[in-house]
Amino acid sequence: MDIFLIFPIVISIVAVAIAYYSFVDNRQLLKWSTSYTRLREAESLIKDNPELLDLYSVDENLLKRCNTNAQEIAYMLSILRTMQELYRFQKNAGLSPYLKKIFESQKVVLIWEEIIFNRFVFRTKFVDDLNNYVREGTLQKDTNYE
């Protein structure tokens, strides 16, 4: 068989395969994005309805212990969901400098450890990476004897 006849067929098959995988990948990203948009919308209700925190076993004593309120929890959840979505779209490229900067705050670390980590997040590579980053940062601060 003539190579000039086979070559266009092979190229066509490869193009169809690439188009198919691209379609499937885009569909998955759309599902993920839509789900996270809905989740962020639901969690944003916490800001104006602090009693919703009861659904997550977050009571007034825990909020006081962490020196926080429903508005700050809703804000942090919004940031974390956005960063998690970005992390996924960038194929687990690592934690953003913006997120690392936010977690320099001891208050943010406390809220993460005491409220958000065990109540609001799904276990994903992003959550594992962020939690490892927080623990490493906490260990470094705890062992700094200056």
Whether the pLDDT of residue 49 is over 80: the answer is yes
Total domain count, the chain: 1
Whether the pLDDT of residue 1 is over 60: the answer is no
| Banded model confidence at residue 145, pLDDT cuts 50, 70, 90 | very low
Domain membership of residue 11 as a residue range: 3-142
Contacts within 8 Å (CB) and 24+ apart, 15-18: none
Whether the pLDDT of residue 131 is over 80: the answer is yes
Residue 141 has what pLDDT? 55
How far apart are alpha carbons 77 and 116 in whole angstroms? 8
Cβ–Cβ under 8 Å, residues 92 and 135: no
Residue 142 has what pLDDT? 43
Whether the pLDDT of residue 87 is over 90: the answer is no
How far apart are alpha carbons 51 and 36 in whole angstroms? 22
Q: Which residue has the higher pLDDT, 38 or 116?
A: 116
Q: Which residue has the higher pLDDT, 110 or 123?
A: 110
For the segment 55-67, what is each residue's pLDDT rounded down to a tens digit?
999 999 999 999 9
pTM > 0.75 = no
Q: Which residue has the higher pLDDT, 49 or 39?
A: 49
